[in-house]
Protein backbone atom coordinates (compact mmCIF):
# COMPACT_ATOMS: atom_id res chain seq x y z
CA UNK A 1 0.00 0.00 0.00
CA UNK A 2 2.82 2.41 0.93
CA UNK A 3 4.57 1.65 -2.35
CA UNK A 4 1.38 2.40 -4.31
CA UNK A 5 0.88 5.72 -2.50
CA UNK A 6 4.52 6.65 -3.04
CA UNK A 7 4.26 5.81 -6.75
CA UNK A 8 1.11 7.89 -7.15
CA UNK A 9 2.73 10.84 -5.38
CA UNK A 10 5.65 10.64 -7.79
CA UNK A 11 3.26 10.67 -10.75
CA UNK A 12 1.34 13.65 -9.35
CA UNK A 13 4.58 15.52 -8.65
CA UNK A 14 5.69 14.79 -12.24
CA UNK A 15 2.56 16.44 -13.68
CA UNK A 16 2.69 19.22 -11.08
CA UNK A 17 6.31 20.02 -11.93
CA UNK A 18 5.66 20.11 -15.69
CA UNK A 19 2.67 22.41 -15.25
CA UNK A 20 4.55 24.68 -12.85
CA UNK A 21 7.49 25.06 -15.22
CA UNK A 22 5.17 25.90 -18.11
CA UNK A 23 3.17 28.70 -16.52
CA UNK A 24 5.04 29.96 -13.45
CA UNK A 25 6.68 32.88 -15.26
CA UNK A 26 3.40 33.92 -16.85
CA UNK A 27 1.99 34.20 -13.33
CA UNK A 28 4.94 36.26 -12.11
CA UNK A 29 4.89 38.49 -15.19
CA UNK A 30 1.14 39.02 -14.82
CA UNK A 31 1.53 40.07 -11.18
CA UNK A 32 4.35 42.52 -11.98
CA UNK A 33 2.53 44.08 -14.93
CA UNK A 34 -0.73 44.25 -12.99
CA UNK A 35 1.02 46.03 -10.12
CA UNK A 36 2.78 48.45 -12.46
CA UNK A 37 -0.53 49.37 -14.09
CA UNK A 38 -2.16 49.70 -10.66
CA UNK A 39 0.52 52.05 -9.32
CA UNK A 40 1.38 54.12 -12.38
CA UNK A 41 -1.70 54.06 -14.65
CA UNK A 42 -4.79 53.31 -12.55
CA UNK A 43 -5.71 56.93 -11.87
CA UNK A 44 -5.06 57.94 -15.49
CA UNK A 45 -7.35 55.15 -16.76
CA UNK A 46 -10.15 56.09 -14.40
CA UNK A 47 -9.78 59.81 -15.09
CA UNK A 48 -9.96 59.04 -18.80
CA UNK A 49 -13.12 57.02 -18.20
CA UNK A 50 -14.73 59.85 -16.23
CA UNK A 51 -14.08 62.22 -19.15
CA UNK A 52 -16.27 60.32 -21.65
CA UNK A 53 -19.61 61.29 -20.12
CA UNK A 54 -22.31 62.95 -22.21
CA UNK A 55 -25.18 62.09 -24.54
CA UNK A 56 -23.35 62.31 -27.88
CA UNK A 57 -21.78 59.36 -29.73
CA UNK A 58 -23.06 56.91 -27.12
CA UNK A 59 -22.10 53.79 -29.08
CA UNK A 60 -18.48 54.92 -29.37
CA UNK A 61 -18.42 55.75 -25.68
CA UNK A 62 -19.73 52.30 -24.80
CA UNK A 63 -16.98 50.73 -26.92
CA UNK A 64 -14.34 52.91 -25.27
CA UNK A 65 -15.72 52.20 -21.79
CA UNK A 66 -15.46 48.44 -22.39
CA UNK A 67 -11.86 48.85 -23.52
CA UNK A 68 -10.99 50.91 -20.43
CA UNK A 69 -12.64 48.31 -18.21
CA UNK A 70 -10.18 45.70 -19.45
CA UNK A 71 -7.27 48.06 -18.73
CA UNK A 72 -8.49 48.76 -15.18
CA UNK A 73 -6.45 46.74 -12.65
CA UNK A 74 -9.05 46.92 -9.86
CA UNK A 75 -11.18 44.09 -8.57
CA UNK A 76 -14.94 44.57 -8.57
CA UNK A 77 -14.96 45.89 -4.99
CA UNK A 78 -12.56 48.55 -6.20
CA UNK A 79 -14.43 49.28 -9.41
CA UNK A 80 -17.89 49.75 -7.88
CA UNK A 81 -16.91 52.73 -5.67
CA UNK A 82 -15.49 54.46 -8.75
CA UNK A 83 -18.67 53.70 -10.67
CA UNK A 84 -20.76 54.96 -7.73
CA UNK A 85 -18.79 58.19 -7.61
CA UNK A 86 -19.19 58.73 -11.35
CA UNK A 87 -22.90 57.87 -11.21
CA UNK A 88 -23.39 60.66 -8.67
CA UNK A 89 -21.72 63.02 -11.14
CA UNK A 90 -24.16 62.03 -13.87
CA UNK A 91 -22.29 59.27 -15.74
CA UNK A 92 -24.63 57.36 -18.06
CA UNK A 93 -25.53 53.90 -16.79
CA UNK A 94 -25.04 52.22 -20.17
CA UNK A 95 -21.44 53.48 -20.24
CA UNK A 96 -20.95 52.37 -16.63
CA UNK A 97 -22.34 48.93 -17.51
CA UNK A 98 -19.85 48.43 -20.33
CA UNK A 99 -16.94 49.48 -18.11
CA UNK A 100 -17.99 47.31 -15.16
CA UNK A 101 -18.77 44.23 -17.27
CA UNK A 102 -15.42 44.08 -19.05
CA UNK A 103 -13.64 44.99 -15.81
CA UNK A 104 -15.22 41.94 -14.15
CA UNK A 105 -14.08 39.59 -16.90
CA UNK A 106 -10.53 40.73 -17.54
CA UNK A 107 -7.68 42.92 -16.31
CA UNK A 108 -4.03 43.40 -17.34
CA UNK A 109 -2.82 40.81 -14.84
CA UNK A 110 -5.25 38.10 -15.98
CA UNK A 111 -4.54 38.95 -19.62
CA UNK A 112 -0.85 38.17 -19.07
CA UNK A 113 -1.75 34.90 -17.31
CA UNK A 114 -3.79 33.93 -20.35
CA UNK A 115 -0.75 33.93 -22.64
CA UNK A 116 0.08 30.57 -21.01
CA UNK A 117 -2.94 29.15 -22.86
CA UNK A 118 -1.54 30.18 -26.24
CA UNK A 119 -1.93 33.29 -28.36
CA UNK A 120 -5.18 32.11 -29.96
CA UNK A 121 -6.98 31.47 -26.66
CA UNK A 122 -5.63 34.70 -25.21
CA UNK A 123 -6.93 36.69 -28.20
CA UNK A 124 -10.31 34.95 -27.99
CA UNK A 125 -10.53 35.81 -24.30
CA UNK A 126 -9.66 39.44 -24.97
CA UNK A 127 -12.18 39.80 -27.82
CA UNK A 128 -15.06 38.02 -26.06
CA UNK A 129 -14.58 40.08 -22.88
CA UNK A 130 -14.49 43.29 -24.91
CA UNK A 131 -17.67 42.32 -26.80
CA UNK A 132 -19.41 41.24 -23.59
CA UNK A 133 -18.84 44.70 -22.13
CA UNK A 134 -20.21 46.31 -25.28
CA UNK A 135 -23.31 44.09 -25.35
CA UNK A 136 -23.99 44.78 -21.65
CA UNK A 137 -23.81 48.52 -22.31
CA UNK A 138 -26.08 48.29 -25.33
CA UNK A 139 -28.68 46.23 -23.45
CA UNK A 140 -28.83 48.81 -20.67
CA UNK A 141 -29.07 51.53 -23.31
CA UNK A 142 -32.00 49.79 -25.04
CA UNK A 143 -34.01 48.40 -22.11
CA UNK A 144 -33.16 50.83 -19.30
CA UNK A 145 -32.92 54.09 -21.19
CA UNK A 146 -35.41 55.82 -18.91
CA UNK A 147 -34.99 53.60 -15.84
CA UNK A 148 -32.39 53.22 -13.10
CA UNK A 149 -30.30 50.06 -13.40
CA UNK A 150 -27.78 50.57 -10.56
CA UNK A 151 -28.27 51.43 -6.91
CA UNK A 152 -24.94 52.42 -5.35
CA UNK A 153 -26.22 53.95 -2.11
CA UNK A 154 -25.55 50.81 -0.03
CA UNK A 155 -21.99 50.30 -1.24
CA UNK A 156 -19.20 51.36 1.09
CA UNK A 157 -15.93 52.58 -0.36
CA UNK A 158 -12.94 50.33 0.35
CA UNK A 159 -9.67 51.44 1.87
CA UNK A 160 -6.84 52.31 -0.51
CA UNK A 161 -3.77 50.26 0.42
CA UNK A 162 -1.38 52.00 -2.00
CA UNK A 163 -0.49 54.91 0.27
CA UNK A 164 3.28 54.59 0.84
CA UNK A 165 5.03 57.86 -0.15
CA UNK A 166 7.95 55.98 -1.72
CA UNK A 167 6.83 54.87 -5.19
CA UNK A 168 9.21 51.87 -5.34
CA UNK A 169 8.16 50.59 -1.92
CA UNK A 170 4.53 51.14 -2.94
CA UNK A 171 5.09 49.02 -6.07
CA UNK A 172 6.74 46.16 -4.16
CA UNK A 173 3.98 46.21 -1.54
CA UNK A 174 1.41 45.94 -4.31
CA UNK A 175 3.30 43.02 -5.86
CA UNK A 176 3.44 41.34 -2.44
CA UNK A 177 -0.31 41.74 -1.93
CA UNK A 178 -0.99 40.28 -5.39
CA UNK A 179 1.24 37.27 -4.68
CA UNK A 180 -0.45 36.75 -1.32
CA UNK A 181 -3.93 37.08 -2.85
CA UNK A 182 -3.38 34.77 -5.83
CA UNK A 183 -0.54 32.44 -4.83
CA UNK A 184 -2.56 29.85 -2.94
CA UNK A 185 -5.12 29.61 -5.75
CA UNK A 186 -2.37 29.38 -8.36
CA UNK A 187 -0.73 26.38 -6.69
CA UNK A 188 -4.08 24.73 -5.93
CA UNK A 189 -4.90 25.12 -9.63
CA UNK A 190 -1.66 23.41 -10.61
CA UNK A 191 -2.34 20.58 -8.15
CA UNK A 192 -5.87 20.11 -9.50
CA UNK A 193 -4.59 20.05 -13.08
CA UNK A 194 -2.00 17.42 -12.08
CA UNK A 195 -4.76 15.29 -10.53
CA UNK A 196 -6.89 15.70 -13.68
CA UNK A 197 -4.01 14.64 -15.89
CA UNK A 198 -3.24 11.62 -13.74
CA UNK A 199 -6.72 10.29 -13.07
CA UNK A 200 -9.11 11.58 -15.77
CA UNK A 201 -8.76 9.73 -19.11
CA UNK A 202 -8.16 12.10 -22.00
CA UNK A 203 -10.70 10.29 -24.15
CA UNK A 204 -13.47 10.74 -21.57
CA UNK A 205 -12.65 14.41 -21.13
CA UNK A 206 -12.52 15.03 -24.88
CA UNK A 207 -15.87 13.30 -25.39
CA UNK A 208 -17.48 15.44 -22.67
CA UNK A 209 -16.03 18.88 -23.47
CA UNK A 210 -14.92 18.45 -27.08
CA UNK A 211 -16.72 19.51 -30.24
CA UNK A 212 -18.34 16.09 -30.73
CA UNK A 213 -20.56 16.80 -27.73
CA UNK A 214 -20.72 20.54 -28.36
CA UNK A 215 -24.01 21.59 -26.82
CA UNK A 216 -23.67 19.66 -23.58
CA UNK A 217 -19.95 20.42 -23.36
CA UNK A 218 -20.59 24.15 -23.64
CA UNK A 219 -23.33 24.00 -21.02
CA UNK A 220 -21.09 22.02 -18.67
CA UNK A 221 -18.17 24.41 -19.19
CA UNK A 222 -20.33 27.45 -18.51
CA UNK A 223 -21.79 25.76 -15.43
CA UNK A 224 -18.55 24.52 -13.83
CA UNK A 225 -17.13 28.00 -14.19
CA UNK A 226 -19.47 29.03 -11.36
CA UNK A 227 -18.17 26.81 -8.51
CA UNK A 228 -14.57 26.30 -9.73
CA UNK A 229 -13.57 29.91 -10.32
CA UNK A 230 -11.97 31.47 -7.24
CA UNK A 231 -9.03 33.27 -8.82
CA UNK A 232 -7.92 33.89 -12.40
CA UNK A 233 -4.41 32.61 -11.77
CA UNK A 234 -5.76 29.40 -10.28
CA UNK A 235 -7.85 28.49 -13.33
CA UNK A 236 -5.09 28.94 -15.91
CA UNK A 237 -3.38 25.59 -15.04
CA UNK A 238 -6.74 23.83 -15.19
CA UNK A 239 -7.62 25.34 -18.56
CA UNK A 240 -4.22 24.51 -19.96
CA UNK A 241 -4.57 20.86 -18.94
CA UNK A 242 -8.17 20.70 -20.19
CA UNK A 243 -7.29 22.15 -23.60
CA UNK A 244 -4.51 19.57 -23.96
CA UNK A 245 -6.94 16.81 -23.00
CA UNK A 246 -9.44 17.80 -25.69
CA UNK A 247 -11.60 20.65 -24.42
CA UNK A 248 -12.87 22.71 -27.35
CA UNK A 249 -11.85 26.37 -27.54
CA UNK A 250 -15.51 27.36 -27.37
CA UNK A 251 -15.96 25.45 -24.11
CA UNK A 252 -12.84 27.14 -22.71
CA UNK A 253 -14.21 30.53 -23.74
CA UNK A 254 -17.55 29.80 -22.01
CA UNK A 255 -15.68 28.87 -18.84
CA UNK A 256 -13.56 32.04 -19.02
CA UNK A 257 -16.73 34.16 -19.22
CA UNK A 258 -18.90 32.57 -16.52
CA UNK A 259 -15.97 31.98 -14.15
CA UNK A 260 -14.95 35.58 -13.34
CA UNK A 261 -18.50 36.84 -13.89
CA UNK A 262 -19.78 34.58 -11.09
CA UNK A 263 -16.76 34.75 -8.79
CA UNK A 264 -18.19 34.98 -5.28
CA UNK A 265 -16.55 38.33 -4.40
CA UNK A 266 -17.75 39.85 -7.67
CA UNK A 267 -21.29 38.58 -7.07
CA UNK A 268 -21.39 40.20 -3.65
CA UNK A 269 -20.42 43.61 -5.01
CA UNK A 270 -22.77 43.33 -7.98
CA UNK A 271 -25.78 42.22 -5.94
CA UNK A 272 -25.35 45.25 -3.67
CA UNK A 273 -24.97 47.68 -6.58
CA UNK A 274 -27.78 46.25 -8.75
CA UNK A 275 -30.47 44.95 -6.45
CA UNK A 276 -31.84 41.41 -6.67
CA UNK A 277 -34.02 41.82 -9.78
CA UNK A 278 -31.31 43.33 -11.98
CA UNK A 279 -28.78 40.92 -10.48
CA UNK A 280 -30.85 38.00 -11.81
CA UNK A 281 -30.92 39.69 -15.23
CA UNK A 282 -27.14 39.88 -15.04
CA UNK A 283 -26.76 36.14 -14.30
CA UNK A 284 -29.10 35.20 -17.17
CA UNK A 285 -27.20 37.48 -19.53
CA UNK A 286 -23.85 35.96 -18.58
CA UNK A 287 -25.00 32.38 -19.15
CA UNK A 288 -26.61 33.19 -22.50
CA UNK A 289 -23.63 35.22 -23.70
CA UNK A 290 -21.19 32.47 -22.66
CA UNK A 291 -23.14 29.75 -24.48
CA UNK A 292 -23.61 31.79 -27.67
CA UNK A 293 -19.95 32.85 -27.66
CA UNK A 294 -18.81 29.25 -27.21
CA UNK A 295 -21.01 28.05 -30.08
CA UNK A 296 -19.74 30.73 -32.45
CA UNK A 297 -16.10 30.11 -31.52
CA UNK A 298 -16.48 26.36 -32.08
CA UNK A 299 -18.03 27.04 -35.49
CA UNK A 300 -15.09 29.27 -36.47
CA UNK A 301 -12.28 27.13 -35.04
Closest CA to 193 of 252, 234, 247, 253: 234
Report how far residue 14's alpha carbon sits from residue 223's, in angstroms, rounded to the nearest whole number.
Answer: 30
pLDDT of residue 162: 61
pLDDT of residue 229: 62
Contacts of 16 (CB under 8 A, 6+ apart): 190, 191, 194
- Residue ranges of the chain with pLDDT lower than 70? 75-78, 154-164, 202-217, 224-234
pLDDT of residue 183: 82
pLDDT of residue 91: 85
pLDDT of residue 98: 95
The predicted-structure confidence for 161-175, as pLDDT tens digits, reads as follows: 666 678 888 888 888
pLDDT of residue 223: 72
pTM, full prediction: 0.86
Give Cα 227 distance to the centre of its chain: 14
**127 close to 111: Cβ distance less than 8 angstroms:** no
Amino acid sequence: MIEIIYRELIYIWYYFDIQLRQIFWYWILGIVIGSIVSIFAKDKIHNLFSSINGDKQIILKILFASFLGILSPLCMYGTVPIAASLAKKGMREDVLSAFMMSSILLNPQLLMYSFALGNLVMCIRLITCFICGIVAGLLVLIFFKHKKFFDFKNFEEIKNNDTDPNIIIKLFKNIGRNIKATGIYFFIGILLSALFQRYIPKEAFASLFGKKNEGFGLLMSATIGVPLYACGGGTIPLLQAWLVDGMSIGSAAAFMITGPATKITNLGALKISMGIKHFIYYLIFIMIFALISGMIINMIF
